[in-house]
Structure formats: C-alpha cells, structure tokens
Structure 1
Amino acid sequence: MNPRRKKRLTIILSIVVGLGASIGLLLFALQQNIDLFYTPTELVEGKGPKALKPELGQRLRIGGLVLPGTVERSETSLAVSFKLSDAGGGIVTVTYEGILPDLFREGQGIVAQGELSDLNTVAAFEVLAKHDEEYMPSEVAEALVGMEHFKPEYTEAQLQGSTH
C-alpha cells in the first residue's frame, strides 16, 4: 500500500470513528432527557408506552384524575400527597413539595412530572392542572376515556394502596 493511499484511509477511518462516537454520545444524552408519559394503570402493572417498563428512579410524566378525599397536606411544610387514577382502575400516590396550581382540585385531571419512587408512588417536582373543562393533554384524555370526574366505586382498601 502506498503512503498516499494509507494516509487517505487513515483520515477516512478517523472521520468515521469520530462521527460514530458523536452519534453515540448524542443518543445517550437524548435518552437521559426523555420523560415518558404513563397512566396510573401502566405504572401499577409495570407496563409503559411502546412496551417500555418503568424503572425505579426514572423521570416520567403521569396523568390522571385526583381521587376525591385523598389529598393530604402537611401542617408544617408545603408537602402534599394525593392519589391519581385512570379508567383502567390503577391508583398511584403522588407526593409533591411546593405550592399546587390554583386550578388543582379533587376529581379533576392533572399531569405530574417527577421521579418513580416505587410502582405505586411518584415524587413529583412539577404538577400541572388543566386550565378549563375543554382542554386536557391528549395522553390524559386517552387514559380517561369513559371515566367521569371520579369513580365512586373505589373501596377504602384500594385508596390505601393495598390492592395493587
């Protein structure tokens, strides 16, 4: 192999390796910043969108209806917890430290963004409430098809989290 051809091959190989490494790093970085949307039923059943199983510590978004009578506020801090449900019957507890949106109400749809503590608990760092009766994120609307503002047939045991 002549020196000129060897030099050209080395340059091309270096470019290919550099591009491959750059693409690999880019994909890794994007994967770390994606927050997938889950419904309460998907979390409880350990399933997710596009067959992605939720993992503990994973950042995610969850949407559903706040079950009436489940909002518990701390008397000494801004900590609050509440239970979310969807038409599939899954119930997930959301914990949050901060001031809830003015439109946050029991029996209404919300989306919370946070980290999965266990399959039944999400530690939220952001809670979003819908701004009127007409608007709701499409993911939440799909999860709540056929469900009214709340399902009154939940038992006390389900609300305490002992069934899932």
Structure 2
Amino acid sequence: MRARTRRLYTFGIAALLVLAAAILAFFALRENANLFYTPEILAEKGMPKQGREVKVGGWVEPGTLTYSDDGATMQFTVIDNSPNTITVRFTGVAPDLFREGQGVVATGSFDPAGHFTARQLLAKHDENYQPRELKPLEAGG
C-alpha cells in the first residue's frame, strides 16, 4: 500500500472516531443538562409533562411565603423579570439562606392545577455572601 493511501485511511478512521465521540458526548450532555425553568420560559414554552421532574428557578416573591398549620409545609411564589409566576409547595427543612427576596432553585414536579411540588430547595446567593461565622464583628456589638 502506498504512503498516500495509508495516510488517507488513517485520516478517515480518525475522523470517524472523533465524530462518534462527539455524537456520544452530545447525547450524554443533552440528557444530563442541569438547567432550570423560569416563569417566563414556562409561559413561552408551556408546562412540562405532568409528573416529570424538573427544576424551576427565580426569586421568592416578598410577602408570599406561608406555612401550613403544622409548620412542615411552606408555599411561596417564584418570580422573575416577567409578569409570570410559579406557585411552589415544599415540605421539609428549608436551607439556611432561604428567605423572601432571595434566589431559589426548586427540584420537583407540576400537578394538574399547575402548582409545583418541590422535593428539594436550593437557595442562591450573590458573590458577596459570607457565612455568619466569618463575618467581621461590627463596632459596638
């Protein structure tokens, strides 16, 4: 076999291997994409299938956080920079950083009425966050 033909075969096999690796990576990443829906995106694209686990994110609307009589279940509204909202219910212990006006990402599913039942809450914070234990003591206190 001539050197030119051997190089052509080598190049062809390498190209096929790179293409196969790219296709495998595409399908793996597509299934494991860790994105969340905002109220605006849900209004534009519609609700995901009922019972499908998804993530919703935005800010906890001030004044909407309520607790059930037993105190175990909370309900609040998630907002973004649009007039759309998502009502979220969560039973369990909320993260320390969770409060009204703060960012939140909730993992769960939608019920037929369009309410979101979360099984996990993640509180988001800005780059200026410092744990209470590391904050410098203020003068006089």
- The TM-score, its normalising length taken from structure 1, stands at 0.53
Cα distance, 1:62–1:114 mapped onto 2, change above 3 Å: same
Instruction: Tell me the secondary structure at the aligned position of residue 41 of structure 2.
Output: helix
Aligned counterpart, 2:4: none
Instruction: Tell me the secondary structure at the aligned position of residue 36 of structure 2.
Output: strand
Aligned positions of 1:1-164 closer than 5 A:
36-43=35-42, 45=43, 47=45, 54-118=48-112, 120-130=114-124, 132-134=125-127
Instruction: Tell me the secondary structure at the aligned position of residue 40 of structure 2.
Output: helix
Cα distance, 1:121–1:102 mapped onto 2, change above 3 Å: same
Report how many residues are paired. Answer: 100
Cα distance, 1:42–1:62 mapped onto 2, change above 3 Å: same
Aligned partner of 1:106: which letter? E
Aligned counterpart, 1:138: none
**Larger Cα-atom Rg:** 2
Aligned counterpart, 2:23: none
1:63 shift after superposition: 0.5
The percent of aligned pairs where both chains have the same amino acid is: 40
Aligned partner of 1:42: which letter? I
Gaps of 5+ in 2: 1-26, 129-141
Gaps of 5+ in 1: 1-26, 136-164
Divergent runs of 4+, >3 A: 33-36
- The TM-score, its normalising length taken from structure 2, stands at 0.61
When the two chains are superposed, the root-mean-square deviation of aligned CA atoms in Å is 2.5
Aligned partner of 2:38: which letter? T
Cα distance, 1:108–1:118 mapped onto 2, change above 3 Å: farther
Q: Deviations over 1:7-42 (max 9, x none)?
A: xxxxxxxxxxxxxxxxxxxx8xx95x7665211122
